[in-house]
Amino acid sequence: MGALTFLYARSTGIQAQQASAATAEEVASSRMEQVRVLDPSAITAGSASSTISGIVYAATWTPDVCWQAADPASTDTSCVAGASAPNNTIQWAEFVRVRVVVTWPERNCPGGTCSLDNVTLISRSKAEPVFDPGP
């Protein structure tokens, strides 16, 4: 009977942790949508918190400018950080990379705090990268 009680208590804790992570994902997605409607040059760092079902979810977002090769033949999808394009030998597309981090208290996470990290790229340039969808 003791093992059954332990199993029930543990599974209930795991369900609660998964529910909290799903809520954190909703908070992050909501913040991403709020950022994406802004003019890319107007995006600034910030923070906000939401209390949902008695749990405080703290969201912080930080933008930085990065560059991606606009060459349709390029397979490099990395975004190089910097205030200006890395070089003038190829055409570069300018992006704002926005990182949204959501944290919330959870006793089963290291240090008693869980975190979720989401990143999106928002175009700032006229020269849009062309992606080959493949065959």
pLDDT exceeds 50 at position 5: yes
pLDDT for 115: 94
Give pLDDT tens digits for 82-124.
767 766 666 777 888 999 999 999 988 889 999 999 998 888 8
Q: Element (H or E) spanning 22, and its range?
A: helix 2-36
76 or 36, which is more confident: 36
The Cα-based distances of 131 to 68, 97, 124, 128 in angstroms read 12, 18, 17, 9
Whole-prediction pTM: 0.73
More confident residue, 5 or 80: 80
Q: Which residue has the higher pLDDT, 67 or 56?
A: 56
CA 30 to each of CA 54, 78, 91: distance values in angstroms, whole numbers, following the listed order: 19, 25, 33
Q: What share of the chain is helix, strand, coil (3-state, %, to 5)?
A: 30, 35, 35
Does residue 53 contact residue 102 with C-beta atoms inside 8 Å? no
